[in-house]
Amino acid sequence: MVLATNLGFPRIGSHRELKRSLEAFWAGRIDAGALLATARELRTRHWRLQRDLGIEHVPSNDFSLYDHVLDTVVMVGAASPRYKPLRSDTLRQYFAMARGLQDGALDLPAMEMTKWFDTNYHFIVPEFFPGMTFDLASAKPLDEFLEAKASGIQTRPVLIGPISFLLLGKMPDGKSPLILIDALLPVYEALLAQLGRAGAVWVQMDEPCFVLDLPEDVRLTFRKVYQRLSGVAHAPQLLVTTYFGGLGDNTEVAASLPVSGIHVDLVRAPEQLKPLLKALPRNRFLSAGVVDGRNVWRTDLDAALGLLRRAADVVGPDHVLVAPSCSLLHCPVDLSLDKQLDPELHGWLSFATDKLRELKALGHALTTGDISSEDFARSRNAREGRRGSHRVHDAAVAMQLRSITKDMAKRRSSYPVRREKQRSLGLPLLPTTTIGSFPQTSEVRSVRAEFKSGKRDRASYNAFLRDEIDRAVRLQESLGLDVLVHGEFERSDMVEYFGEQLSGFAFTENGWVQSYGSRCVKPPIIYGDVSRPSPMTVEWAKYAQALTKLPMKAILTGPVTILQWSFVRDDQPRAVTCLQTALAIREEVLNLEAAGLRIIQIDEPAIREGLPLRRAAWSEYLEWAVECFRLASSGVSDETQIHTHMCYSEFNDIIDAIAAMDADVVSIESSRSKMGLLNAFARFQYPNEIGPGVYDIHSPRVPSEDEMAELLRKALAAIDPRRLWVNPDCGLKTRRWPEVKSALENMVRAAGRVRAELLESGQAAG
């Protein structure tokens, strides 16, 4: 019999119960017992839901209070020594690693955070050092397996495989963490033995690094590691799980591993099926990822069934596991909760719960040959409906694309010429600014909700926003910031706000997905051609600039980030959708300039995130991604200063592309890495201006003036002071006003202190 299986389920709950419980715990409104009770209730609910929908391999240990990589750090006893004072309070230590801690007695920065492969999920980066030892310090995988078993549900525990876990971490001096593999493996061996003795039949070993470009020594390590793990006494059957791409030249190694099964992503890389089937031993299970775990469109069940039949013809139906391409962590939970979606569009979509039904339908069809079910009928109707819908294609947008010229993606003058003209902005050495947003208080969110629900009229809502902007401008002036922002109080999300005003976008009520910790986002759905019916930000930017004589920075979200942080249509190349969006943002940029805004920031935090996982595909992506940014930004005069912002990325691999974007100023996240990310800009001799973040906004911790001044001095070792800006890592919307005021006061004072040092020493001459 063909089994319907799952790799992971969203943790947050259908109504974001985990988010609310976490934030209540952090605020001191509930205790640890209440938080853990919510966690147990969510796990049990999700296990039962999957079982009741016919999933045979239900995952466990896919739940996390913050991040599954951080869970593994804790599990193997790899917490950094700086958190040792908290070892007697494991929950407090856990959240200190994730968010930092500042309580009067202790001042602990958070661990570094970065993007999980090419997704918008953020993970905590493990910290390793030579000679490190490990031990089985947490029984979480075993505890949750037993918890499910006590509820009458047999689960398949999920572990991050030891090789991917090490490769996702960092060691000093760029050494490979794989030198620690022999020290780490006994922990996995002990855990697998415990799980086997507890009754686990399968364990899912997530090894997403298997789809990357791997040197031969890493491939040999895979063979060595799984030869050893497969020999553990009492160990369950192992399923090595890959996703987000194809195995490619790692196929032979993956197929040769002495494990019971291999999972592959046949949505991202259907072409890998043929070579894998050729290489796979006949006694292996093939977990076929044919339902998209990264997007929200209803599966083409006929096409998916075709792939499954090809697999079954080779390995046999009883050795095929029907699965999503990856964990459903990246999908919203339940489409049935969205009552306001247009019925036609609703019929085209599939969220996590719906995808479980699709998996069951595919398993049934492969077993019985019956494709007459309602699920298959809905799949065909959705496919035909999208193909023929008038709302998907816009002839005017197609005409705009044909009118693009090469000159539209070029600034009028080179950066040195622009820099001289932009001196008229009157900015000091080491100018200070913020990235864009200010705290979204409960009052701001409440008033916005009242307006959207019709309980508050437009005039009252606009008056409220004007008051918020007034206060934000006055605060920035009093703090001594050099370039101001209006605060973005009208925006719920940096992508959603723009999508709501662009054609071709749709929105859900409950389409939330986890970004990190308690931070959830509700990505727009791009279903059709993109255009801009009217200006989106000009009114508020113009109003804010009229309040002050200081430069006001207008904030936009860039086309690549809008693409990456939306659920994107899959019926045309992503590059085409991005070009359409770039043209819309270009119109907005020109309108802002005409309204008197001299500084315009076009945020592209996702440009590195969109980079293909295999180097061979990089140049094609970077070519159109850079073109889209330049198309959006290059229509302005030399006197207008274009900024962009990027966060939580490794820049070494794309520094030439960042330079090709030709923004006058790029601000980057760099505080958690202690300015380490600036090394790429220094080695490359990046020619334009840079604003490395001097404090981490994803933590409630307020860094001192001394700490930020020291980071600035580190930055000056890599960047000419005449090209250095001072700013936080990212927007401040998730923080509270007291934290923001204190941190910005320290930041401005730190900039002033270092500015005075430079002037006194004569380093800023010229």
Name the residues annotated as catalytic: 698
Q: CA–CA separation, 255 vs 278, rounded Å?
A: 9
Q: Are 45 and 10 in contact (CB under 8 A)?
A: no
Q: What is the crossing angle of helices 352-368 and 32-52, to 10°?
A: 30
Measure the CA–CA gap between 7 and 596, rounded to whole angstroms: 52
Of 451, 733, 473, which Cα lies nearest the Cα of 603?
733
What contacts 761, CB < 8 A, 6 or more positions away?
none
Residue 717's Cβ-side half-sphere holds a number of Cα atoms within 13 Å equal to 12
Range 667-704 burial, b when 16+ CB lie within 10 A, else e: bbbbbbbebebbbbbeeeebebbbbbbbbbbbbbbbbe
User: Is the CB of residue 652 less than 8 Å from the CB of residue 635?
Assistant: no
Are the CB atoms for 646 and 629 separated by under 8 Å? no
Q: Could you tell me how far CA 140 lies from the centroid of its own chain?
A: 25
Q: Do the beta carbons of residue 6 and residue 58 sit within 8 Å?
A: yes
| CA 223 – CA 246 distance, rounded (Å) | 18
The helix/strand/coil state of 525 is strand
Beta-sheet pairing, 665-668 with 641-646? parallel
**Inter-residue contact 78 to 94 (CB < 8 Å):** no
DSSP state string for 246-309? --GGGHHHHHHSSSSEEEEETTT-GGGHHHHHHHS-TT-EEEEEEE-SS--BPP-HHHHHHHHH
Length of the chain: 766
Strand partners, 122: 115
Torsional class of 674: left (φ above 0), alpha (ψ -120 to 50), beta (otherwise) = left
